[in-house]
Structure 1
C-alpha cells in the first residue's frame, strides 16, 4: 500500500534498481530502503541470487501481503568459478578470511548478466542505488546513462573517521593512539581500529575501485538520521563535495509485529514464546545479548559470558549461533545453567527488533554492528558494547563517547580483529561489572533517558522529519538527473 502522502510523478512510474552486497548486514537495510521507496510510489527491483531470496522469503511475503510488491532480479552467483563452494552466496557463509577476495570477485562477475538484463527492460531504470561494496555497477550506470547513488551501510562517523585517518595518518604505527584529525569531535583512536574496510594488504585494487565508484557517484545514501550524526554527515558531504541523504533508520519501516519477527533470517523458536517470556519480566530489567551474524567466539569466551550473566543476577536473553555451539559450550549449558539462571537462550537466529522493542529489555550487549546499533537507538535501549572488527570499534566510540548511551565491556583495547579462537579477552568479572553498570544506578538512569530521547527523534525523523525529507529529495534529484540524461 502506497503512503497517502507519497510523491506524485505525473504519468510516469519511477523505477529504481537496488544492488546490495550479499551480507545480512547489508541486505536487510537495503530491503528496508526498497520498502521506503515503494511507499513513495516508486517501483523497485532488487538484485539477488537464489540462495539469498530463500533467506529473505519471509520478509518478501510480509511486504507483498502489505501491497508492496518487491521485484527481484535473480542472478546466479558464479561460486565455483572463483573457488567457492556452490551455495556460498552470502558473506557470512564464506568459510575463511582467505576467501573474502574470492567472494568479492564472484560478485563483480554479475556485471555483465545484470547489464544484459537491464538493457532489455522498457522503460529503462530511472536510477541505480548500489552498495559501496559493488563498485562494478559504475560501468552499468554509465552504459545505460542513468544516475547512480552509492548506498553506505556503516555509520557516517566511521566513514568520516577512516577517510581522515587515511588522508592524514598513513605512517602511524598500528597501535599508537592519536586524535582523529579534522574531526567534529575530539576522538582518540588507534590505526588498527580506524582503517577502512579495504585498507589491508591484498585489497588495494578493490579499495581503489570502491573509492573511484564513490567519487564518480551522483550522490550518497546513508542508513542514518541527522539528529544522530549531523556533524559527521555535514563534514563528510563537505569533504566529498557530494550530496549525502540520510534516510534512516530503515529498521523503523518494520512497524508490525510480523515485520519485526521476519526481519532477517528464519528462527527456531516461536515468537509468542519469546514475547510471553518477556511479558513476565519487569520493565527495563532484561539484558539482551547478541553479536550479529558474522562474529564467532571461542568456547571459553562464551562460558565467561554465561558465568558473568549468571553472577549479575539479571534476567537475560542470550543468542548463541549454531556454529558456536561447540561440545564444551553445549556441556556447560546442559549442566544446570539454564535452570540456575533467569535466562532464555536462543540458538540460531533471533527476532532482534521484536526483542529490543519490548518494554522489559533494559540493555543490549552488542558487537556494535551498525544495524544492531540503529535498532537499539530506535528502540531507546542503552548498549553494553564489545566491538570485534571492521567498523564496530568506531561505532562503539560513537555510542559510548559521543552519544553517551553505552558502556564499553573492555575500554581502550587495541586489537584490530577478534578471531573466533581468541582467548582471555574478557572475564566473567568484566561481564558482571558491565551489566550492573549499564542497568543500575543514577548514571544508568541518565543513559536510559538519553537513549529514549534519541528513539523519539529517530521516529519523528522517519515520519515527517529530516529522513523523510531527505528520501523525497533523493528521489526528486534522481528523476531530474534521469530527465537530463534522456534529453542529452
Structure 2
C-alpha cells in the first residue's frame, strides 16, 4: 500500500479565486486524498471567522496560512502593492511551509501542488522542489484561449506591449467564438489604468507559467465551449465546480453567509424573485447605486439584493434604512448569501449579475436566465457568451452619460421574464452542465483521470 497522496492548494487571495479552488479541494478530499489549503494570513482569518459563524463542523481540508508581506493596516485593495508584495515574499514562505510539512512526517510529504494560474510563482517553487504541478484556470476557456495569444496580438500590431488596443476593431479567435471589443479585453478596467496594468501583467506572466504545469485544469465543461477548448493544448475541463449537496462543506467564503434569505425565498411564488448580486469586487458610484435601487423599486416583483458594505462609498446604512421602509416586505437586502442555494431555489426568476465566471457557471448550472451588467476584465466577454452565443440572457445598455438607468433596468427585466426562448435555452444548458459532472460525463471522466494520475 503506497503512501496517501497529499495535495497542497494555493489560490490568489480574492474571493472569486479562493471559492473554485476550495470547491475543487472538497472534490479531491472525497477521493481519499489529503488536502492542505494555503491562504494568506489576512484571508485565512476571514475564512475561518466566516466558518465559525456558520458553526462549521470539522473541515476535512487542512487550512494553513503564510504572510503576504503587507502590514496589518495596509490596504489590500491596492492590487499593485499586494501583487508586488506577494511576488517578493510568498514564494519563500511557501517553500519553507512545504519543507516543514515534508520534514514533520514521512507519510505527509506533499506529492502535488495545485495553484491558481494567477499565482504562477507557486508552480516555480514546486518545479524547483521536484513536486508535480497542476494549475487551475478559474475563468472560462474563451478567456484562456485569448490570453494564450497575447504575444501574437502584439506581433500583429493589434495591441501594444502594455495591452492597449492599437486599432479599435473587434478581435476574433475564430468565427464560432464571440469577438472581443478592443475596449473590453480580459484585462480591461475602465477608469483604472493602474489596475488594468496589473491585470495585463498577470495575463502575460501566466502564459509562461502554463509551461511549468503537468496538468492544466479549467473550471468549465467541454460542451459549453468546444471551439475555445479545442484551441488550448492539454486543457482539462473539470467544471462546473459546485458544492452541490456536500453538507457542511465550505466554499471559503470571506463573509458570513446570511441563510435567512432562504426562508424568505420559501415564502415567495415560484419563479417570481429577481436575484441581484455583483460578486466581491464590483463597486458603484453613489448615483449609479441609487439608480439601481430605484430600478428595483419600479418593478412589481420581489427581489433579493446582495449589498456588500463596500459596494459604494456613499452613506449606505442610512440609504438602506430609508429604502427598506419604502419597499416594505417586497425586497430583501443582505450582505452575502449562499449563492448556489439561492440560484437553485424554485422562487428565483432571473439573475442580475456582474457576469463573473463563478456566478456565470452557477447560474448556468441552476438554469437561471441572466441580466448582464459586467464590471471589468473577463466579465464583458462572459456577457457576450451569455447574450450572443448561448442566448440565455440580455445585457443592460448604458445611456449617453454612461449610466444604467432605472428605466433600462425595469424594461430589461420585464423583457427577460417574458422571453420563453431564453428560459428554454437556460434549462437546456442546465441539463448539459449536470450531465458533464455525472457519471461518464466529460468533466466527470476528466476529473477521475486526473485523480488517478495524482495517486500514482
Q: Normalising TM by the smaller chain, what interval?
A: 0.7 to 0.9
- Specify whether residues 49 and 188 from structure 1 end up closer, same or farther in structure 2 by C-alpha distance, changes over 3 A only: closer
Q: 1:34 to 1:308 in 2, by over 3 A?
A: same
Q: Is the 8 A contact 1:179 1:187 kept in 2?
A: no
> Which of the residues 254, 274, 279 maps onto 2:244?
254
- Please tell me whether residue 470 in structure 1 is matched to residue 446 in structure 2: yes
Rate the CA distance shift 1:111–1:395 in 2: closer, same or farther, 3 A: same
SS where residue 185 of structure 1 aligns? Answer: coil
The separation in 2 between residues aligned to 1:199 and 1:180, in whole angstroms, is 22
Query: SS at 1:55's partner residue?
Result: helix
Say if 2:393 is the partner of 1:406: yes
Structure 2 residue 91 is matched with structure 1 residue 113: no
Measured against aligned partners, the alpha-carbon deviations of 1:288-332 in whole angstroms (never above 9, x if no partner) come to: 111111111111111101111122222111111112365555444
Which residue among 229, 232, 249 is the counterpart of 2:228?
Answer: 232
Q: 1:249 deviation in Å?
A: 1.2
Give the deviation of 1:346 after TM superposition: 2.6
Q: 1:62 to 1:203 in 2, by over 3 A?
A: closer
Please list the CA deviations of residues 40-88 of structure 1 after superposition, one character each: whole Å capped at 9, or x if unmatched. Answer: 12111111234323333355998984x86212333233213xxxxx166
Cα deviation, 1:123-166, whole Å, max 9, x if unaligned, reads 43221111111111233222322221111111111111343465
Partner of 1:416: none
1:433 — aligned with what?
Answer: 411
- Is 1:151 matched with 2:136? yes
What is the correspondence of 1:88-487 to structure 2 with a 5 Å cutoff?
94-105=76-87, 106-120=89-103, 122-123=106-107, 124-164=109-149, 167-168=152-153, 170-172=157-159, 174=165, 177-183=168-174, 185-196=176-187, 201=197, 207-237=203-233, 243-251=234-242, 253-255=243-245, 259=249, 264-267=253-256, 269=258, 271=259, 273-324=260-311, 326-335=313-322, 338-340=325-327, 343-410=330-397, 424-440=402-418, 444-464=419-439, 465-480=441-456
Deviation at 1:234, TM superposition (A): 1.9
Using the size of structure 1 for normalisation, the TM-score is 0.81
Alpha-carbon distance between aligned partners in 2 of 1:102 and 1:14, rounded to the nearest angstrom:
33
The range that moved more, 470-479 or 102-111, is: 102-111
The answer (yes or no) to whether the contact 2:282–2:311 under 8 Å persists in 1 is: no
Q: Secondary structure at the match of 2:310?
A: helix
| Aligned residue pair count | 440
Instruction: Tell me by how many angstroms 1:102 deviates.
Output: 3.2
With over 3 angstroms needed to count, the CA separation of the structure-2 counterparts of 1:427 and 1:107, relative to structure 1, is: farther
Residues 373-418 of structure 1: per-residue CA shift (max 9 Å, x gap): 11111111111111111111111111111111111012899xxxxx
In 2, distance between residues paired with 1:112 and 1:256? 32
- What SS does structure 2 have at the residue aligned with 1:231? helix
Runs (5+) with no aligned partner, structure 1: 1-9, 81-85, 238-242, 414-422, 481-488
RMSD of aligned Cα (Å): 3.1
CA contact (8 A) 1:165 1:181 kept: no
Name the CA shift for 1:200/1:278 in 2 (closer, same or farther; >3 Å): closer
TM-score, normalised by the number of residues in structure 2: 0.86
Which moves more between the two structures, 38-47 or 112-121?
A: 112-121
Match of 1:456, SS? helix
**Do the aligned residues in 1 keep the contact of 2:158 with 2:167 (CA within 8 Å)?**
no
Unpaired runs of at least 5, structure 2: 189-193
SS of the residue corresponding to residue 323 of structure 1 reads coil
Moved over 6 A (4+): 60-64, 202-205
SS at match of 2:207: helix
Per-residue CA shift, 1:255-279, capped at 9, x if unaligned?
A: 157658x76234374x2x3223212
How far off is 1:11 after superposition? 3.8
CA distance in 2, matches of 1:204, 1:379: 32
